[in-house]
Amino acid sequence: MTKEMLENIVLPEHIGVIMDGNGRWAKQRGLERSEGHKAGADVFRKICDYAAEIGIKYITFYAFSTENWKRPAGEVSAIMDLFRDYLFEAQEREEENIAKGMRIRYIGDRTALPEDIVNLIEQLENQSADKTTITVNLAVNYGGRDEILHAVKHLAEKVEAGELKADDITLKDIDGNLYTAGQPDPDLIIRPSGEYRLSNFLIWQAAYSEFWFSDILWPDFTSDDLDKAIIEYSKRNRRFGGV
């Protein structure tokens, strides 16, 4: 996107991305599904950098859902390996990421992840906690319903402890107990690969999101596609229930 274009559009503050179509991309090429995820992880890196470059403040990538454990064990471990590789690399290139002002956050239920991955996540979250150019949320073992359940349990514990009255629970209390607490809701959600559903991604936060769908498979997704989605978003008139 040129500087001039950037000056004339409304940039979404937060973009959510469902990285879909890796398996089909691999199949089309006679490759293992894990090769599709590998290509998808490379695109994830490029799109992260590009989003930071054009001024997006928050971007959330859906990499692995609470339902994805049902996949063959080999595929699950290939995805975990790619996640681990990225975390290692992000840590090794700490200076580069810091220079980019990239804050890395994990969203999801980390209790089910391998311990070494959890440790890497925590180190990276701490290292990058004060960065403000862009926040990159990695959704791994993430499910929107699971996230809401987690928030409800936390609030119920407070009620049980007599710290909160059920009648006083507000929308803000629920927001504040989600994995994305303190972050703006996604303005734009992108789903490639010709599927038209949310698949349990940010279901609470997406109440007023705009959607952009495309037939492109995630490993073929480029910065030009991100531009297209943003330009289309910029033309939409968001009313948030008003007139």
Active site residues: 20, 68
DSSP string, 32-62: -HHHHHHHHHHHHHHHHHHHHHHT--EEEEE
Site map for ligand FPP, 179-208, x if CB under 6 A? --------------x---------------
Select from 3-11, 80-88, 145-153, 157-165 the region that touches ligand FPP (CB under 6 A): 80-88
DSSP string, 79-116: HHHHHHHHHHHHHHTHHHHHHHTEEEEEES-GGGS-HH
* Among the listed residues 17, 138, 188, 189, the single contact to ligand FPP using CB under 6 A: 138
* Among the listed residues 14, 16, 17, 44, the single contact to ligand FPP using CB under 6 A: 44
Please give the C-alpha separations between residue 130 and each of 61, 80, 100, 102, 127, in angstroms, as whole numbers: 20, 27, 12, 9, 8
- Nearest-CB residue for ligand FPP: 23
Calculate the CA 111 to chain-centre distance.
18
* Among the listed residues 1, 15, 41, 189, the single contact to ligand FPP using CB under 6 A: 41
Residues 6+ apart with CB under 8 A from 166: 159
Select from 17-25, 47-55, 141-149, 183-191 the region that touches ligand FPP (CB under 6 A): 17-25
Residue 105 interacts with ligand FPP (CB under 6 A)?
no
CB of residue 169 to ligand FPP, shortest distance in Å: 33
| End-to-end Cα distance, the chain | 31
User: Which residues of this protein are in contact with ligand FPP, per CB under 6 A?
Assistant: 19-24, 37, 40-41, 44, 61, 63-64, 68, 79, 82-83, 86, 138, 193
